[in-house]
Amino acid sequence: MLAQSCPECGSPLMKVGDDIYCATCNRRVVYAKEGTASVAEDSTELAELRRTLTDKLRTVNSQLEQETDIEVLTKLTNLMVLLLRALRELSKI
């Protein structure tokens, strides 16, 4: 158990590996740079977000294959980069 308490419910926090958990909320607690703690988003929500992003990437990919217009291709490629970036950021949470 740690000295810190959960920002949501005030229960003592537990350290599991590199992660800090609140057993009461059953959630991971993250610390922002300013030192303020916040409860991480529910992992199932994150998994769903990841699925959505992956689905969109698949859609963009199939559109890219058929597209010949340079302007549309540019837009699709930019979108793909954004989606990939979002996925990468997601994996850091």
Enumerate binding residues for Zn ion (CB under 5 A).
6, 8-9, 11, 22, 24-25
Least distance between Zn ion and beta carbon 17 (Å): 18
Q: Which residue has the tokens 């793909």?
A: 80
CA distance 75 to 29: 37
Q: Please, which residue, 10 or 91, has the CB nearer to Zn ion? A: 10
Q: Are 53 and 46 in contact (CB under 8 A)?
A: no
Instruction: Find the residue with minimal CB distance to Zn ion.
Output: 6
Q: Please, which residue, 11 or 54, has the CB nearer to Zn ion? A: 11
